[in-house]
Structure 1
């Protein structure tokens, strides 16, 4: 293959685990005023989250979870994006599918993490930062064409709505095809040529999104929202085999998991919460089935959410899950549930692959239409030239057959002839005058018609070409190189930090496993003392495991009771 096409990576040859990161928000004023304490400890250097029981802060009661990365309340939006999100968006720009979804209790900062505050550009969230990365990458690329499309949908009470439709309350249906998988029928898609355009699409969609106030959050998201960015790319040089690759980025803001007793939900809000909890329960069941090696059936069809995210969980996608938790003792149960949920998700294995030449790629259709319009324009120009040449030849033949009158020179132009007739410099018969006027008018109309057709074709061509993005326009190469070097440096730092966390986690496991092999004893009494300490430690672990099992049983029973109440509410 041509060296200019080297930007395209190899197909992924092995399974890849879902990357799970956890972010903890700061205590809010209400929690501090009510006297709640912080029960979360974040150890970023080890990728560890520790949660303590509010009524028992002893070391044995602490539960520890290890993740790919963890972020405390002092972390910045930029840190999270550069370390955990940027590599995934880069993969999408290479033709992979990618999914980023935020999960957690209501009021833990999911929407803040995904979108950021609207009035503070310095705290942009994952979605606007990913737009920035995509269009910056396109602007600096060379010998490539891109087509960027955006769609925005929400799942509200198990109904799929198009947030970009003139009638957002209209319900859409899910369909499935072997070649493209699960898709939403009649979902609108807008071609975006700049970051401003795609941000405008998101703003319009957010205006149609379902939100409402609960005791947990004044602006609680009452639906799951999925913003889909489709990036089609292909080489422009004729020497390169013109493969089309398509990357799809799913940006998912899940509605908050919540206990109805805490949210104070009633009426419509209670029904919304019931549907939210049912779909999140289905998502939990899918995650549990995926990590359970004995399960052969994965219940993707239990909810609309899990069907849409089917590729993202165990399928053709690179996936990052951002689990959001609150630090207050008041939310201990919910935070623990989220951590367990996230801990299971990190064991899911996906099978990402590059999407080459999909049948539904619009870029190929656009390129073919542009080529067709260029051929038509060339033919139009050729026809005009041939017609002008034929007219000249016709004039020559007629001039040979009939000698011009002495008053009219044979080499005079039509415009000059018309001017001289009007000025009285040449006198011709009324019949000849009328014939001449009609001939001039006919030719004038032909010229106007040809010009209009040509202008229409040129307008169509410009419109089609404007939808395709190409890099390298009005950009200084030196600035590009500096920007690339800066981004590469940032990526290297993020990867080094990630490797350090992984190494620490591996070392801790190895040290724990090799402790007994390193110990030597001088007498039996010393050996007995060491083994007694080990026995106590193992017994403590056993008790902790039993306690964990009891907690899980209680949580399961509590969730079952919640679901039963939800089902009863729905059936009323």
Structure 2
């Protein structure tokens, strides 16, 4: 069992030239944990004293400044999680931040250049590369892609048709078994034997995603997406099977409705997005308080699906994406505050091993036959199945 708190990282998005950049500083002293200081600009309005705080300091495991490339992000954040998944532990990587701060770019990547690939394609490449090296075990990989839009779940990998709109996709529903394990009904699992097959599934899912143009971002993702890689492995002849799953989560952008000036459909979406992020925050606050008996996982679909990842059997990492332009300073501070709360949560990751009963029966039958043959060799006579009454008595 591995006990550890949720790891938090920060990534600063490069600013557009036209926008005024907020002032911040990154302190990476080798002895201390790296900290990010956001300095608030002082409005020296006509003569009154401004008593607002001037700066905020937040601690992270590591802070990636504007120059950090996708390769660096993968090596530092996703690779350790992928390694633990290959070893049989569950893993989760969450991207959280305001609209337009670079969550989707970090998780999925940019489409223009190969070097812009994000965490999902790089993780798939890494996992398949490791599986090819390890020829002594038998592996199977399955992939699912769930989208949560306006509190409804949709299967982005529905094989039956090319969706013209999200509402055509099958609705995914949640049910709980007596052991309180969450099961997702209508969410298809697709086997991927190679990296190419897995990337095709990712591409198909991304094509079906709900994306809309908002004043803050031309291609804002209006939903939470959870891309899951299910790995199971066993050694030939062994009855023990290891299962592990890796959730890669791109949360929808948190935003202040008044600031983005949206209405109609976008306003409805923003309400649902903010509500589900609010429920996520409630779960996180409840988990970071020591003596809370009830954790409100059931309030929203996303917190139900991520129950294991938050305070459960999982190694979880969160990336806080920050857009430190002057107009976004408030949002960035609230993202950092949220990350600090997340960092207080402890997870207990357990190795997911189980014995396959069918394989166990085959092994035992084989062992019985070997023992019978051995016995026949020693006594010189082939045994009949049933013992006589005298033998039973003896």
Q: Does 1:319 align with 2:316?
A: yes
Alignment of 1:365-404 (within 5 A): none
Q: Which runs of 4+ in 1 moved over 6 A?
A: 56-60
The answer to whether the 8 A contact 1:149-1:231 is kept is yes
User: Using a 3 Å threshold, how does the CA distance of structure 1 residues 302 and 56 change in structure 2: closer, same or farther?
Assistant: same
For 1:126 and 1:40, the matched residues in 2 are separated by 26
Alignment of 1:265-276 (within 5 A): 265-276=262-273
For 2:10 and 2:43, the matched residues in 1 are separated by 24
Q: Which residue of 2 aligns with 1:301?
A: 298
TM-superposed CA distance for 1:122, in Å, is 1.3
Q: Which residue of 2 aligns with 1:69?
A: 62
**Can you list the C-alpha shifts for 1:246-268, whole angstroms capped at 9, x where unaligned?**
11000100000000112221100
- Corresponding residue to 1:109 among 88, 91, 102: 102
TM-superposed CA distance for 1:202, in Å, is 0.6
Q: Which residue of 2 aligns with 1:355?
A: 352
For 2:253 and 2:277, the matched residues in 1 are separated by 9
**Can you list the C-alpha shifts for 1:112-136, whole angstroms capped at 9, x where unaligned?**
1001111211122111110011000
Q: Does 1:222 align with 2:222?
A: yes
Q: Which runs of 5+ in 2 are unaligned?
A: 45-50, 363-394
Q: Which residue of 2 aligns with 1:206?
A: 206
Larger Rg belongs to? 1
Alignment of 1:481-492 (within 5 A): none
The answer to whether the 8 A contact 2:42-2:54 is kept is no
- Corresponding residue to 2:143 among 147, 150, 153: 150
TM-superposed CA distance for 1:56, in Å, is 6.3
Alignment of 1:500-519 (within 5 A): none
- Corresponding residue to 2:84 among 75, 81, 91: 91
TM-superposed CA distance for 1:176, in Å, is 1.6
What SS does the corresponding residue of 2:75 show, helix, strand or coil?
helix
For 2:355 and 2:336, the matched residues in 1 are separated by 38
Q: Does 1:54 align with 2:41?
A: yes
Q: Does 1:235 align with 2:232?
A: no
Q: Which residue of 1 aligns with 2:21?
A: 37
What SS does the corresponding residue of 2:74 show, helix, strand or coil?
helix
TM-superposed CA distance for 1:358, in Å, is 7.3
Q: Which residue of 1 aligns with 2:175?
A: 175
User: Using a 3 Å threshold, how does the CA distance of structure 1 residues 344 and 17 change in structure 2: closer, same or farther?
Assistant: same
TM-superposed CA distance for 1:177, in Å, is 2.2
For 2:100 and 2:272, the matched residues in 1 are separated by 18
Q: Which residue of 1 aligns with 2:193?
A: 193
Q: Which runs of 5+ in 1 are unaligned?
A: 1-11, 369-572
Q: Which residue of 1 aligns with 2:13?
A: 25
Q: Which residue of 2 aligns with 1:372?
A: none
- Corresponding residue to 1:128 among 121, 130, 137: 121
TM-superposed CA distance for 1:290, in Å, is 0.6
TM-superposed CA distance for 1:186, in Å, is 2.1
The answer to whether the 8 A contact 2:240-2:355 is kept is no
The answer to whether the 8 A contact 1:228-1:249 is kept is yes
User: Using a 3 Å threshold, how does the CA distance of structure 1 residues 16 and 178 change in structure 2: closer, same or farther?
Assistant: farther
**Can you list the C-alpha shifts for 1:69-94, whole angstroms capped at 9, x where unaligned?**
11110111111211222111101011
Q: Which residue of 2 aligns with 1:472?
A: none
**Can you list the C-alpha shifts for 1:206-252, whole angstroms capped at 9, x where unaligned?**
1111010011101000000001100000002x3xx331001100010
In terms of fraction of residues, the more strand-rich structure is: 2
What SS does the corresponding residue of 1:29 show, helix, strand or coil?
coil
The answer to whether the 8 A contact 2:170-2:186 is kept is no
**Can you list the C-alpha shifts for 1:31-78, whole angstroms capped at 9, x where unaligned?**
2xxxx2323222345511111112269996211111111111011111
What SS does the corresponding residue of 2:218 show, helix, strand or coil?
coil
For 1:226 and 1:122, the matched residues in 2 are separated by 23
Q: Does 1:78 align with 2:71?
A: yes
Q: Does 1:261 align with 2:258?
A: yes
For 1:111 and 1:30, the matched residues in 2 are separated by 22
- Corresponding residue to 2:327 among 326, 330, 351: 330
What SS does the corresponding residue of 1:288 show, helix, strand or coil?
helix
User: Using a 3 Å threshold, how does the CA distance of structure 1 residues 184 and 25 change in structure 2: closer, same or farther?
Assistant: same
The answer to whether the 8 A contact 1:95-1:245 is kept is yes
Deviating more after overlay: 81-90 vs 201-210: 81-90
What SS does the corresponding residue of 1:85 show, helix, strand or coil?
helix
What SS does the corresponding residue of 2:321 show, helix, strand or coil?
strand
For 1:210 and 1:119, the matched residues in 2 are separated by 20
Q: TM-score, normalised by structure 1?
A: 0.58
Q: TM-score, normalised by structure 2?
A: 0.83
What SS does the corresponding residue of 2:186 show, helix, strand or coil?
coil
TM-superposed CA distance for 1:147, in Å, is 0.3
- Corresponding residue to 1:118 among 111, 114, 134: 111
The answer to whether the 8 A contact 2:287-2:345 is kept is yes
User: Using a 3 Å threshold, how does the CA distance of structure 1 residues 201 and 224 change in structure 2: closer, same or farther?
Assistant: same
For 1:225 and 1:30, the matched residues in 2 are separated by 31
What SS does the corresponding residue of 1:287 show, helix, strand or coil?
helix
